[in-house]
Amino acid sequence: MKSILVSISVILGSFFSLSAQSVQHGEVMQYRGKEAKTPLSGVSVSAIGAPSVTSDAEGQFVLNFRTLHAGDAIQFRRIELSGYEVMNTEALDVARVANSGSTDNKLVIILCSTEELTRLRDGYRSAAAERYQQQYDAAQRQLEQLQKEGKIKQAEYDKQLDEL
C-alpha cells in the first residue's frame, strides 16, 4: 500500500511538473542586407530556466521553460554561432514567453556575419561623423558671417566657436 502511494505521488508530481512547463518556439534568421533573411542552422540558444538548444536546418528551435510561464521575461544566457553576432538584441531584451498553444508568437533571432555587421557599423559611424562635420561647418560659417557684419566681436566669435 505504501509503495502504491509513493508511485502515485511520483506520477502526480511528474504530471504537475510537466504541465507547468512553458514552451517558446523560435527561429534564427540570417541578415542578408537587401536580400530576404534566410534560416540559420547550428545556432546555440541558451536561456535561464530552459535547457540549451540548437537551431535545426530550418533555423527552428524550441525552448522548454521549467519555471517560467506565459508573459514572463526571457533572459538569454547566450546566442552563439562562430562568425556571427545577434542584430536584434533590443527585441530580445524585452522578449516574453508566449501563451501556450500560440504559434503566432514565434521568437525571431536575427544574426549577421561579424564581417557584415562591422561594415554596417563603420558605415553608420562614417555617415554620422560626416553629418556632424556638416553641422559644425554651417555653424562656423554663420559665426563668420556675424563677425563680418560686425554683429559679434572676435572674443565672442572665439567663445562661440569653442562651444561648437
Residues 6+ positions from 143 with CB-CB distance below 8 Å: 152, 157, 160, 161, 164
Residue 75 CA: distances (Å) to CA of 12, 20, 40, 131: 29, 18, 21, 37
The average pLDDT across 20-40 equals 93
Mean pLDDT in the chain?
A: 85
pLDDT in tens, 101-133: 666 689 999 999 999 988 888 877 767 877 888
* Confidence label for 15 from pLDDT (cuts 50, 70 and 90): very low
First-to-last alpha carbon distance for the chain, in angstroms, is 86
pLDDT in tens, 50-88: 999 999 999 999 999 999 999 999 999 999 999 999 999
CA of residue 146 relative to chain centroid, distance: 47
The rounded radius of gyration (Å) of the Cα atoms in the chain is 28
Max CA-CA distance within the chain?
105
* 87, 31 Cβ separation under 8 angstroms: yes
Which range has the worst mean pLDDT, 42-51, 83-92, 98-107, 146-155? 98-107
Nearest 5°: the CA angle 56, 59, 64 is 70
Q: Quick one: cell of 27?
A: 527561429
pLDDT of residue 12: 45
